[in-house]
Structure 1
Amino acid sequence: MSTVSVREAVAADAAEIARIQRVTWRTAYHDILSEQALTELGSPLVEARWAEAIGHPGSRVHLAFEGAFAVGFCVAGPAPREDVADAAGTVPPDAGRTGLIGTLLVEPRWSRRGHGARLLAAAAAGLRELGADRGVTWAAESDSATLGFYRRAGWRPDGTVRTLDTGARRLRELRLTGALEIRLVE
C-alpha cells in the first residue's frame, strides 16, 4: 500500500499543480468548460500563475501525494468580500472569519482514495490557524461529484449562486458553506 500525505506546496511544485489542473479539467470538466479555456491550460503562463499563488501572502496551496506521485491540490485563504456577500452585496457579520476554498482538485485516476478529504482537512486546519470559523467554496451546479463531496463533509449550498462566462457558455455555480472542523474517517 502506498503512503499518502499532504504538504504545503513550494514554488517548485507549480509545474506539477498546473499539470494536475490541466489533466483534471480536460477529463472531468470538458463538458462544462469551453475549448478555449481548456486550450489555455497549456500556456506557460498557467505555471507562472501557480508559482504566484503559492507565494501569495495569506493563502496556502496544499499538495496531496500517493507515494511519490502528486495527485491533487487545494488552494485556501481568507474569503474576499465578493465571495461572502449575498446577491445584494451585503456582507455577513462573520466575513472577517470566513475562509475560501478557492480550488480543490484531485486528478480523476486518483479519486475515491481519500485525497480530497485530506486536502480539505489540511486547508481547513490552515484556515483555522488564520482565524477563520467557517469556510465557503463555489461548485458548478452540474458537478454532482464535487457537490456530493462537500455534502459528505457537512457543507451545504447557502442559496447564493453566480454565473461565470467560460468563453463559449455560461457556468452556474452554487456557493457552499460549512464548518472548518473536518474529521477524517480512515
Structure 2
Amino acid sequence: MRSYAELLPQAVLNQIDASTFGESWRHAVTRPPSARHRVLVALDHGDVSGFAATAPSEDPDAAPDDGEIVAFHVDPDAQRSGHGSRLIAAAADTLRADGFHRAHMWLVVGDDGLRTFLESAGWAPDSAHRTLDLTGDGSATLRQIRLHTDLGT
C-alpha cells in the first residue's frame, strides 16, 4: 500500500489543512450520518496503526444491500504486521452485521500494493471506474477503479 503523498499531486497536498481535516474525522467518528456509518481503528500497543470507514454505498449503480469501505489506511510503518488483514476482515464483518450482502471499495489507479492485498483477500475489480476532480478546475485529477466482494450473508 502506498502513502497518499505518493498518490496525490503536491499542489493538492499543500492545500490540506490538518486542523480542518482532523475536525472532519472527529465529526465522522462522533456524529456519523447514520448507524450504518462506522469508523474502525487498528491499534498497536495503544497507538493507531490503521483505520477503515464503512457506510452504505452511494454509487449510482448500488443495490440497497451494497455497503462500501469508504476509507482504508494502514500506517506505512505498521504494514506487514497483520493490521491490514485484521482491519479488512473487521470491516467486512461490520458491513455484514449491518445487513449488507456485497461490499465495494474505490482504489486509486496505481496503488498496486493495496490492490494486490485486497485481491488476495477475495476482492476483485468489477469494471467500474471514475475520475475525481480534486481542485474543481480539472488541473488535478485522480483516477480510481472499484473492487467488490461478496459478504456471504
Q: Same fold (TM over 0.5)?
A: yes
Question: TM range, normalised to the smaller chain?
Answer: 0.7 to 0.9
Decide which of 152, 156, 162 is 2:120's aligned counterpart: 152
Decide which of 54, 60, 64 is 1:76's aligned counterpart: 54
- CA shift for structure 1 position 81: 3.7
Is contact 2:102-2:151 (8 Å) kept? yes
Is contact 1:60-1:123 (8 Å) kept? no
Decide which of 47, 53, 67 is 2:22's aligned counterpart: 47
Runs of 5+ in structure 1 lacking a partner? 1-23, 86-90, 182-186
The aligned amino acid for 2:89 is: A
- The worse-fitting range, judged by mean Cα deviation, of 100-109 and 53-62 is 53-62
SS at match of 1:113: coil
In the alignment, is residue 161 of structure 1 matched against residue 129 of structure 2?
yes
Runs of 5+ in structure 2 lacking a partner? none
The aligned amino acid for 2:103 is: G
Structure with the higher helix share, 1 or 2: 1
The 4+ residue runs of structure 1 with deviation greater than 6 A are none
User: What value does the CA root-mean-square deviation take over the aligned residues?
Assistant: 1.8
Aligned to 1:180: 151
- CA shift for structure 1 position 127: 0.9
Is contact 2:12-2:140 (8 Å) kept? no
In the alignment, is residue 61 of structure 1 matched against residue 61 of structure 2?
no
- CA shift for structure 1 position 61: 0.2
Take 2:6 and 2:134, find their aligned partners in 1: how far apart are those partners? 11
SS at match of 2:64: helix
Aligned-pair identity (%): 32
Take 1:46 and 1:127, find their aligned partners in 2: how far apart are those partners? 25
TM-score by length of 2: 0.87
Query: Where in structure 2 are the equivalents of 1:1-186 lying within 5 Å?
Result: 28-54=3-29, 55-56=31-32, 57=34, 58-82=36-60, 85=61, 91=62, 95-167=63-135, 168-180=139-151
